[in-house]
Amino acid sequence: MWKGCALSKTANAVLGEGNPHAEIMFIGEAPGQKEDELGRPFVGPAGQFLDELLASISLKREDVYISNVVKYRPPNNRDPLPEEKEQCMPWLMLEIALIKPRVIVPLGRHALAHFFQKLSITSAHGKPQKLTDTVTVFPIYHPAAALHNGNLRQSLFDDFLNLKSFLDQQQSADAK
């Protein structure tokens, strides 16, 4: 039986949540303190900002699926280590296989690196990247980045508007 990575000894598991039939899946890097306490993804300050960003394009948490690459909080909110990401990857891959999203939104560089190792979040944010014939990756800065750097706040709102335009185009193409 899978026991999790070393982080499982010091933190609570935080699995994804949301609409099990969501067309859009948001993936962050790892839970923070509030997420660890409550056992839910994106419920701290970054999650509150994510809710605001979703609302800006008329979406709610219930419309999407939200998860993280790493399922346990790293100590002191440090970046997840490569082996921690690798050990949690089967869970994320299972979530993706079960949800079957058409659009995956990696939030930040750690999540983006899982799909495109050579892309930087700075150059790729807000631009759709074809993953397969049926799945598009739409990288966006992590909401926490804007909490630390206020200059990124408008970029996030702009990227969410670009995401909405992309989703509208997809819906329009599907209707034809």
What does the pLDDT read at residue 75?
86
Residue 172, Ramachandran bin (φ over 0: left; ψ between -120 and 50: alpha; else beta): alpha
DSSP for 18-59, please give it. E-TT-SEEEEES---HHHHHHT-SS-SHHHHHHHHHHHHTT-
The range of the structural domain enclosing residue 104 comes to 6-175
How many of the other CB atoms lie within 10 Å of CB of 143? Answer: 25
Start-to-end Cα distance in the chain? 47
Q: How much is the pLDDT for 13?
A: 87
- Judge whether 30 lies within some domain: yes
Amino acid 1: pLDDT: 39
Mean pLDDT per 10-residue interval, the chain, length 176 residues? 69 92 96 93 96 97 96 88 87 95 96 93 95 95 94 96 95 82
- Residue 40 belongs to domain with CATH number: 3.40.470.10
- Can you give the pTM of this predicted structure? 0.94
Q: Where are the alpha helices (DSSP H) in the chain?
A: 33-38, 45-56, 82-99, 109-115, 121-124, 143-148, 153-175
Report how far residue 3's alpha carbon sits from residue 9's, in angstroms, rounded to the nearest whole number: 9
**Interatomic CA distance for residues 85 and 112, integer angstroms:** 12
Res 121: pLDDT: 95
pLDDT confidence of residue 3:
58
Q: What residues contact residue 61 under an 8 Å CB cut-off, 6+ apart?
A: 18, 51, 54
What is d(CA 140, CA 165) in angstroms, rounded to the nearest whole number?
Answer: 14
Number of domains forming the structure of the chain? 1
Please check whether residue 145 lies inside any domain of the structure. yes
Q: What is the CA radius of gyration of the chain?
A: 15
The pLDDT assigned to 4 comes to 62
Residue 156 belongs to some domain of the structure: yes
Report if residue 1 sits inside a domain: no
